[in-house]
Amino acid sequence: MDYKIINVDSSEQIATLTINRPEALNALNSLFFKELDLRLDEISSREDIQIVVITGEGKAFVAGADIAEMARMNPEQAKEFSRVGQAAFRKLELLEKPVIAAVNGFALGGGCELALACDIRIASSKAKFGQPEVNLGLIPGYAGTQRLPRLIGLGNALFLLFSGDTITAEQARQMGLVQQVVEPESLMPTVRELAAKIASKGPRAIKLVKQVARKGLLMDFESGCQLESREFSSLFENEGLEGMKAFLEKRAPKWQN
């Protein structure tokens, strides 16, 4: 496929996906979802890539789903557009590699939903967040109604979903939507530093921590604890042994990918 919307730059175990449609503030259209799906397959199969970073070109992260494209849809097409987007974001969420959203600007509607499907959100102090769908007589369609309450609680989520308000990165941080706010020029260096830190840890442990935490959210507490014990013990066949041995020998661990 001839990629048009998502640029990928990979170096030092980190793949940076840049959504590159700045003339429409990186609004998400059908082509975007096709590209995202293929890019995720590619990243999933590449053993040299351990961490994924998603950001936007220009002044927006993503200003939502493409309103011009949606305005031409009938209910059937809208349902399909929503299902395709939900599936792509779910695939992103379940990727066996940590995904960091580097939110450089507007993260509205579908853009906020994209950030929600990432594991961690680091924002520029210039970023803005919101779910303005109700201003258009719509509701979120990429699982924002499901992920937002799980992440920031029902009250905060309904505040954003009812009001359609745009909030600052700092307000988003206070709600737990964003983990860290930095000056615009520090955004990518901070995200890369975090990505490099994660990439230096035990790769199997990182993969499992994501899997267990995410699966656990969908389980009752006891089943989640059982899953944790199973995966905890699985590390005693390989990576955990090396990590603990390295600690006791006062040397850096030698991980195997």
Stretch that binds ligand CO8, among 104-112, 174-182, 185-193, 232-240 (CB under 6 A): 104-112
Sheet arrangement for strand 128-130: 60-62, 106-108, 128-130, 166-168
Among 56, 98, 141, 202, binds ligand CO8 (CB under 6 A): 141
Q: Residue type for 116, please?
A: L
**CA atoms of 131 and 218, how far apart (whole Å):** 24
- Residues binding ligand CO8: number (CB under 6 A): 25
Q: Encoding tokens for residue 7?
A: 């640029």
Among 66, 95, 104, 198, binds ligand CO8 (CB under 6 A): 66
Query: Which residues contact residue 29 at a Cβ distance below 8 angstroms, ignoring those fewer than 6 apart?
Result: 5, 21, 65, 66, 69
Catalytic residue list contains 42: no
Residue 78 is a binding residue for ligand CO8 (CB under 6 A): yes
Active-site entry in 35, 57, 133, 239: 133
Least distance from C-beta 192 to ligand CO8, angstroms? Answer: 26
Residue 32 is a binding residue for ligand CO8 (CB under 6 A): no
**CA atoms of 102 and 122, how far apart (whole Å):** 5
Q: With beta carbons less than 8 A apart as the criterion, state whether 5 and 36 touch.
A: no
Q: Residue type for 48, please?
A: D
Q: Which is nearer to ligand CO8, 2 or 23 (CB)?
A: 23
Beta-bridge mates of residue 182? 124
Residue 82 is a binding residue for ligand CO8 (CB under 6 A): yes
Instruction: Tell me which DSSP letter residue 138 carries.
Output: -
Beta-bridge mates of residue 17? 8, 54
Active-site entry in 23, 113, 183, 242: 113
Residue 160 is a binding residue for ligand CO8 (CB under 6 A): no
Q: Encoding tokens for residue 98?
A: 């940590």
Catalytic residue list contains 113: yes
Least distance from C-beta 81 to ligand CO8, angstroms? Answer: 4
**Catalytic positions:** 113, 133
Please give the residue ranges that form the binding site for ligand CO8 (CB under 6 A): 24-25, 27, 63-68, 70, 78, 81-82, 85, 106, 108-110, 132-133, 136, 138, 140-142
